[in-house]
Amino acid sequence: MQDQENQEVSNQPEADAATAAAAQGAPATEPGLEEQLSATEAKLAEMHDAFMRAKAEADNIRRRAQEDVSKAHKFAIESFAEAMVPVRDSLEMALKVEAPTVESIKEGVEMTLKQLTAAFEKNRLIEVMPQAGDKLDPNKHQAVAVVPSDQEANTVVTVLQKGYMIADRLLRPAIVTAAAPK
């Protein structure tokens, strides 16, 4: 008999909660809602996992890109250095000649200049060598003097030192004198 009373007492709070929920207008928990909640939680866990994987992949891509940029900076002149090594070798061999003649020195310098020119071309190091009468280009030329001339104003009169560009970027402007306005 006491067991029956305990069961009634233990069932009473559940009945009271259901009665209170019904009295407040809230629907009682249905089995379909629990399944929807479970499915939604599973989908949430799946999306969270996908998000974490995508975030990790983005972090990996960012890290690899930083490493690539670092390597590019570190080894940027590798190609140019490879092209310059034979030039240095030629100069060192020229200094080792026991009894150089003017002709052999001139021949060696010409061959070394050819190697240097080939190295420049290979690495897109381009000469900026304006001709007399060319229009003065402040992006490629630096006028150090303006001299009276029969030429049109703001044109190159003489080239004192040629300039160089790496691809489309100016490394050193050509040093020139320019024609003064008349």
User: What is 125-182's CATH number, 2.30.22.10, 1.10.30.50, 1.10.760.10, 3.30.365.10?
Assistant: 2.30.22.10
> What's the predicted TM-score (pTM) here?
0.58
The per-residue pLDDT for 27 is: 53
Region 94-107 average pLDDT: 89
For 102-157, what is each residue's pLDDT tens digit? 998 999 999 999 999 999 999 999 999 999 999 999 999 999 999 998 999 999 99
For 10-51, what is each residue's pLDDT tens digit? 445 444 544 444 445 545 556 789 999 999 999 999 999 999
The per-residue pLDDT for 162 is: 94
Is residue 121 within 8 Å of residue 103, measured between CB atoms? no
